[in-house]
Structure 1
Amino acid sequence: MAEIVADVPQRATTRSRLRGVTALLGTVPFFAYVTIFLVIPTLVVVIGAFAGSGGVTLENVKALGSSYILEAFGRSIALSLLSALIGAVLGALLAYALVTAKPDGILRRVVTAAAGVLAQFGGVTLAFAFLATIGLSGFLTVWLRDTFDVDIFSGGVWLFELPGLTLVYTYFQIPLMVIVFLPALDGIRPQWREATESLGGTTWQYWTRVAGPLLAPAFLGSFLLLFANSFSAYATAAALVSQGSPLIPLQIRGALTSEVLLGQQNVGKAMALGMVVVVSVVMALYTLLQKRTSKWLG
C-alpha cells in the first residue's frame, strides 16, 4: 500500500512531462513555418548583403547611398506615409460608425466580414480591377469621356505614378484599419462618456481629454502597421508600373532579375536589408504602442 501511495506523485510527474512534450509538438508546425518563410530568407538577405566575390565586403551596403536608391526609398516612404494616413483616418471613422451600430447587428457583421476580405485584396487582382475601372480604357473612364466629355487623364497618366499608387493602396489600407482599430474602440466604455457629461463636460472635451488620449496609442500603432503594410507591398505596384522602378521593392526586383546590370544581386539583397531594418523599427514601435493600449484599455 505504501509503495502505491509513493508511486502516485511519480505518475503525476510523468503525465505532466508527457503533456509538456505534447504541447511542444503542437508548436512544431508553427516554428517550422517561421523558420522556412522568415528566418531562412532573412539570413539569406543578411549574408548576401555583406557577401562579395572576395568574401565579406561593405560595398553592397555602401551602394545604398546611391541617388537612385535613396530616391526609391524616399518615394516608398512617402507613398507609405500618405496611404497609411488616408487609410488610418478614413478607416477610423468607418470603425467608429460600426461601434455606434448594434454589436450583433447585420450591418456590423457584413462590414467587418467585407473588411476582412478587402484587406487581403491586393496584388495583380487589385491592379487589374483599377485598370478595368479607371484605366486608360476603363469603363468609368470611357463613360465619363463619352457622356460628360470629362477626361480624368487630361493632366497626365497619374494612375501609373505615385498619386495612382496612393489611391490603389488606400483601397486595402482602409479595411485593414477597420480590423485593427475596431477592438480599441470597443474598449472605450460608455460609462466614461456618461461620467464626462455628468460633470458638465462637452462632447469636444470628452474626445480631447478622455477618449482621444486613450485611443491615441492604438491609432498611432495602427498607423504604423498600415505604413509597414504599404512599405512592403510589391505585386500591386509591379502590375501597375511597367516602366522604371520608382519604389524600393521594384528596385530590388530590377537588381535581382536585370540582364543589363549583371552582378547586382547582392546590391538587391542590401536594399532588402534596408527594408528589413525600416520595417523592424516600425514594428518595434507598433509593439510598444500596443502594450500601452492594452494596459489602458484592458
Structure 2
Amino acid sequence: MAPAAPTAVRAGVVRRVTTWVTAHLGLVPFLVYTGVFLGAPVVMVLLGAFQDNDGVFTTDNIASAFKDQFGRSFATSIELSVLTAVLGAVLGAVLAQAVLASKEDGLLRKFVSSASGVLANFGGVPLAFAFIATLGSIGIVTKALKGLGFDIYASGFNLFNFTGIAIVYVYFQIPLMVIVFTPALEGMREQWREAAANLGATKWQYWRHIAGPILLPPFLASMLLLFANAFSAYATAYALTSGVVPLVPIQIGSLVSGNVVADQQNLGKALGLGMIVVVALVMAIYNWMQRRASRWLG
C-alpha cells in the first residue's frame, strides 16, 4: 500500500499545475503581445546601446548620450516634464476637488469626467495644429487680441519655443491628473471629516493633519505619472517646433530617421536607453507611492 501515497501526491501536483495553467491561459496573448512589441524592442535598444557599428562592445554611445547637445536635451526634457507635471498636478487636483464638490449626478461632473477622458488622449499633430490655429502667429485668438490692441507676440510670447510647448503639455496634463487623482479624492471618507469636526478641528486643521497626509502619496504618485507622460511625448513637440527645442524624443527621432552622427549609428539607442531608465525609475517610485496610498484609500 506504500506506493499509493506518492501517486496521490503526484496527482495532487498535476491537478494544481493544471488548475494554475487553466486560470492563467488568458494571459498568453497579452504576454506574447507585450513580449513582441515591448520586450523585444527594449532588448534591442539595450544591446545596441553598448555596440559600435561593427557590433563590438563599447560604452562610447552611453558617454556621448549625456554630452553636448544630447546632454542638454536630457536637461531640457526633464525641466519641461517637471514644470508641466507640477502645473498639471496642482491645477488638475483643484479641478478634481471642485468637480467632486458638485452634485454627484450633476451635469458638471459628467461633463468634466467625459471631457477629461477625451482631452487626456488628445495629442500629437492634431493637438499641435489646434494650438497653432488658435495661438499661432496668425491664430484666431492671436488676431482677435491684436485687433483689441494687444499683440502677444510683440510682448514676448511665442508658441514655438519652450514656453509654448509647456502650455500645450499642460493642456493634456490637467485632464490626465483629473482622471488619476479623482479616485484618491473619492476614497476620502466623510466620517473622517465629521470626526475631526466633532473634536473641534477647523477645516484647515483637517486638511493639514488628516486629508493632506493621506492624499500626499497619491498626489505625488500622480505627479510622477504626469512627468513620465510629458517626458516621453514626441509628436506634439516636434510638430510645434520642428526640432528647434532640444528634447530627447526629438533627438532620438532625428537619429533613427537617418540624421546619424558619423560612426555613431547606435547613439539613438543609447538615448532611448536613458529614457527607459528615467521612466522606469519614475514608475517604480510611482508604484511604491500607490501601495502606500492604498493602505488608507483601499
Q: Fold conserved (TM > 0.5)? A: yes
Whether the aligned pair in 2 keeps the contact of 1:119 and 1:175 (CA below 8 Å) is yes
2: distance between equivalents of 1:107 and 1:15?
53
Aligned residue type for 1:153:
Y
Aligned residue type for 2:63:
K
Match of 1:200 in 2: 200
Match of 1:37 in 2: 37
Match of 1:212 in 2: 212
User: Which structure has more helix as a fraction of its residues?
Assistant: 1
Per-residue deviation, 1:14: 8.2
Whether the aligned pair in 2 keeps the contact of 1:119 and 1:176 (CA below 8 Å) is yes
Task: Please list the CA deviations of residues 73-95 of structure 1 after superposition, one character each: whole Å capped at 9, or x if unmatched.
Answer: 11100100000011000000011
The question of 1:150 aligning with 2:150 is answered yes
Aligned residue type for 2:139:
G
Per-residue deviation, 1:11: 11
Sequence identity, in percent?
A: 52
The question of 1:109 aligning with 2:110 is answered yes
Per-residue deviation, 1:64: 2.1
3-state SS of paired residue (2:138): coil
1: distance between equivalents of 2:106 and 2:12?
48
* 1:15-30 → structure 2 map (5 Å cutoff): 20-30=20-30
2: distance between equivalents of 1:228 and 1:175?
15
3-state SS of paired residue (2:266): helix
Q: Flag the 1:23–1:259 CA change in 2: closer, same or farther, 3 A.
A: same
3-state SS of paired residue (2:110): helix
Which deviates more, 238-247 or 224-233? Answer: 238-247
Match of 2:77 in 1: 76
1: distance between equivalents of 2:280 and 2:31?
20
Task: Please list the CA deviations of residues 27-81 of structure 1 after superposition, one character each: whole Å capped at 9, or x if unmatched.
Answer: 1121122112210111111011001134111110111231211111111001000
Whether the aligned pair in 2 keeps the contact of 1:218 and 1:290 (CA below 8 Å) is yes
Which deviates more, 86-95 or 31-40? Answer: 31-40
3-state SS of paired residue (1:56): coil
3-state SS of paired residue (1:127): helix
Match of 1:7 in 2: none
Per-residue deviation, 1:155: 3.7
Per-residue deviation, 1:198: 0.9
2: distance between equivalents of 1:75 and 1:101?
39
The question of 1:290 aligning with 2:267 is answered no
Which deviates more, 243-252 or 226-235? Answer: 243-252
Whether the aligned pair in 1 keeps the contact of 2:119 and 2:172 (CA below 8 Å) is yes
1: distance between equivalents of 2:129 and 2:143?
16
* 1:129-278 → structure 2 map (5 Å cutoff): 129-146=130-147, 148-156=148-156, 158-259=158-259, 261-278=261-278
3-state SS of paired residue (1:160): coil
Q: Flag the 1:157–1:256 CA change in 2: closer, same or farther, 3 A.
A: farther
Task: Please list the CA deviations of residues 259-297 of structure 1 after superposition, one character each: whole Å capped at 9, or x if unmatched.
Answer: 463443311110110011111110010000000000122
2: distance between equivalents of 1:263 and 1:155?
44
TM-score (norm 1): 0.91
Match of 2:4 in 1: none
Match of 1:125 in 2: 126
Aligned residue type for 1:255:
L
Q: Which runs of 5+ in 1 are unaligned?
A: 1-9
Which deviates more, 255-264 or 66-75? Answer: 255-264
Q: Which runs of 5+ in 2 are unaligned?
A: 1-9
TM-score (norm 2): 0.91
Whether the aligned pair in 2 keeps the contact of 1:245 and 1:251 (CA below 8 Å) is no
Per-residue deviation, 1:191: 1.0
2: distance between equivalents of 1:58 and 1:15?
50
Aligned residue type for 1:204:
W
Report how many aligned residue pairs link the two structures.
289
Which deviates more, 281-290 or 242-251? Answer: 242-251
Whether the aligned pair in 2 keeps the contact of 1:50 and 1:60 (CA below 8 Å) is yes
Q: Flag the 1:157–1:266 CA change in 2: closer, same or farther, 3 A.
A: farther
Task: Please list the CA deviations of residues 80-123 of structure 1 after superposition, one character each: whole Å capped at 9, or x if unmatched.
Answer: 00000110000000110122123333322221111011100000
